[in-house]
Structure 1
Amino acid sequence: MISTEEKRKVVMVVMTGNMLLDFSGPSDVFTHANNCLQNLQPGSGYEVLIAAPSADHKVTAATGVEIHCPYSVMEISTPIDTLIVCGNDFREGSVEAFEDFYKWLSKINAGNTRRIASVCGGAFTLAKAGLLDGKRVTTHWDLSERLKKEYPLVQVNSNHFFTNDGNIYTSAGVSSGIDLSLAMVEEDFGKDVAIRVARKLVFYLSRPGFQTQFGSLLPVYERENIGQKIQHWLIGHLHEPVDVNRLAGQMNMSTRNFTRVFHKETGIPPAKFIEKLRVETARKFLEDTDVPLERIAEKCGLGSLVSMRRIFLRHLMTTPSYYRRNFKTALKEAGMEDLLIPQATEKIDTI
């Protein structure tokens, strides 16, 4: 056993209502790092403490699994090497319920904690404690706009899997907590140790791409939203020339009034909406079919292959061919096409 006296203390705070991978992924990284270090750097490693933000030590995951943490975070004394807040409890009244935790968190600073980090929605927890003001951070792509709105002093960029600004480290959605933890291991003990851990977990040491590639470019609008109404018609006409005048006519509105209402209800101008919908539709072709790239560009109204490539780089930071290689339907890639739902493929092919 490695002596805990020389280990770096990693405290992982598990918040209620989140995915198990938010904390289990990072904790496995640090645990496997200990195993590698036994031979490579004896006497060094991590002391991983899993803690609840409540005095009763209990946390309930999104799956309904109840976790009894060995510690309440308020029982842990500083100094701490690395504090990682895994997720955020978005339930109404959670801030009041965890008043003691937020008091404890407010005392965390660079003087008693070398690194302060978050996984996924954990950025909201750190922001609530005032730890992210003026910092460059990331969070899950689906939460980034909400974080910007609720905490305007925080500089949010949801493109990256993880980022750091000074002693503040934040990671994006769920599995990116593994990316961040591997980067921390590399920072502490070198690339060789980090590579060994990544291989053990069958994971990239440095995952290619950006979080942007996983998120939807368009939100799901409510049924009465003008964006939702026009989208049903627009999907069947993407291969045709479509401009704001044609959309306005389809909605029996003047161009000026349509543009005003559309921007107000969707938050983006019609032209940008059309382009994003074209890219979203092209993504489905790339994921679920073997239709040639040139044909996809034609079907989706993206112009030439050069034009589609340029638009993909602007929205997804990748090319159509690279996207297809990395996001093609997993069952097809594994030679299990017979398990795909035929209706879904047929519907896509008829767009």
Structure 2
Amino acid sequence: MNDDESALIRNQLKKKVVIVPMSGRTLLHFSGPVDVFTNADKCLYLSGSKHGYDVVIASPTLKKHIPTLAGAELVCQQSALEITTPIDIVIVAGNDFQTLGKSEYATFCNWLSTINEKSNSRIGSVCGGAFVLAEAGLLNGKKATTHWQLSDRLKKEYPLVEVNTNPFYMGDGRIYTSGGVSSGIDLALALVEEDHGKDIAIQVARKLVFYLSRPGFQAQFGNLLPAYESTNIAQKLYGWLNENLAQPLDVTRMAEHLNMSPRNFTRVFHKQTGLPPAKFIEKLRVEMARKYLEDTDVSIESIAEKCGLNNLVSMRRTFLRHLMTTPSDYRRAFRTSLQSPGINDSSQSNLYRTN
């Protein structure tokens, strides 16, 4: 068998991956997954495997030019609507929400539905791409995630979707969704591992200098408490509470500060914030502790005391409950760049981890 025949056989064995950028606002939405699959294809080739990936970047409409915020224009060689050969993986990357309702995007949603119904394709999304899958009916009755800032909107607009914003990515059957921008890389690596095992996925992660399995969850990124109107009772208390977090803060003390009865205070507070006072205070303490962990070198024990989280054990338990990570892991992941650990710090040991 000559080289041309070998190449032909390998091309026939490759899985076809179609990446569809819904907009070019954030290039990593689609470029991240593209880099994962193309590097996986190279790793498989070098390992002697006849399998791999044939990666195509396709526009969602017959218009093949997609503008970007970077000033460049993404020119796709083909439209997803024109692809007639079998597709193994489709990933809808991003969504600018400006043109989803137009008829041309409705055509793409119909195309997605057809792909889902007539093949065994795995279909995924990155960030706001989940809205496209939902519009196509692919997420009805399924668990899905999206960027943490978009979760409430997804729940409201598509009530049949079981939204869980915490994971970086998740799968339900043949449908996969991922969260923020870089979560598309997490999803793509998971699909490569699903196809070819952990060793190939690790090789790709190493090439991209990325975690094979990132520690933490999207819950770490979003604020635990929303922004309240100035007339909201929580906003009226906010400054005073921050100054007194190290002290015991029960309903009686908060009510006295506002010259209210404890019973009326509890009723009004829950109505305006949607939270019992004790739960609100706990979240506020975690938010303050996060800022200390991100911006200072204050010891975790001192932070626990300053924020009214009692001690290290109690603070760790509270962080796990609200952020699904420990205070020390949170500090390693999110401290500001000027305070970042050095390159030889032990936190780097989690990179490319294999367990």
User: What's 1:233 paired with?
Assistant: 240
Q: What RMSD, in angstroms, separates the aligned Cα atoms of the two structures?
A: 2.3
Amino acid at match of 1:95: G
1:251-266 maps to which residues of 2 (within 5 A)? Answer: 251-266=258-273
Structure 1 residues 234 and 200, CA gap change in structure 2 (3 angstroms): same
Residue 221 of structure 2 corresponds to residue 214 of structure 1: yes
Amino acid at match of 2:299: P
Q: Report the secondary structure of 1:221's partner residue.
A: coil
> In structure 1, which of residues 22, 29, 50 is the aligned counterpart of residue 36 of structure 2?
29
**CA distance, structure 2, for counterparts of residue 62 and residue 248 of structure 1:** 49
Deviation at 1:277, TM superposition (A): 0.9
> In structure 2, which of residues 4, 19, 22 is the aligned counterpart of residue 12 of structure 1?
19
Which runs of 5 or more structure 1 residues have no equivalent in the other structure?
Answer: 337-351
Residues 138-184 of structure 1: CA distance to partner in whole angstroms, max 9, x if unpaired? 21222222222222221222221111111111111111111110111
CA contact (8 A) 1:82 1:113 kept: no
Q: Report the secondary structure of 1:187's partner residue.
A: helix
**CA distance, structure 1, for counterparts of residue 341 and residue 211 of structure 2:** 20
> In structure 2, which of residues 299, 315, 320 is the aligned counterpart of residue 313 of structure 1?
320
User: What's 2:114 paired with?
Assistant: 107
Deviation at 1:253, TM superposition (A): 4.2
User: What's 1:194 paired with?
Assistant: 201
CA contact (8 A) 1:78 1:113 kept: no
TM-score in terms of structure 2 length:
0.87
CA contact (8 A) 2:144 2:171 kept: yes
CA contact (8 A) 1:110 1:167 kept: no
Amino acid at match of 2:89: T
Q: Report the secondary structure of 2:88's partner residue.
A: strand
CA contact (8 A) 1:226 1:265 kept: yes
**CA distance, structure 1, for counterparts of residue 149 and residue 120 of structure 2:** 29
**CA distance, structure 2, for counterparts of residue 50 and residue 165 of structure 1:** 24
**CA distance, structure 2, for counterparts of residue 125 and residue 27 of structure 1:** 19
CA contact (8 A) 1:83 1:113 kept: no
Residue 67 of structure 2 corresponds to residue 60 of structure 1: yes
TM-score in terms of structure 1 length:
0.87
User: What's 1:347 paired with?
Assistant: none
User: What's 1:161 paired with?
Assistant: 168
> In structure 1, which of residues 284, 288, 292 is the aligned counterpart of residue 295 of structure 2?
288
1:167-182 maps to which residues of 2 (within 5 A)? Answer: 167-182=174-189
Residues 101-148 of structure 1: CA distance to partner in whole angstroms, max 9, x if unpaired? 122222121532420111111111111111011112221222222222
Structure 1 residues 128 and 39, CA gap change in structure 2 (3 angstroms): same
Amino acid at match of 1:61: T
Amino acid at match of 1:320: P
CA contact (8 A) 2:115 2:121 kept: no
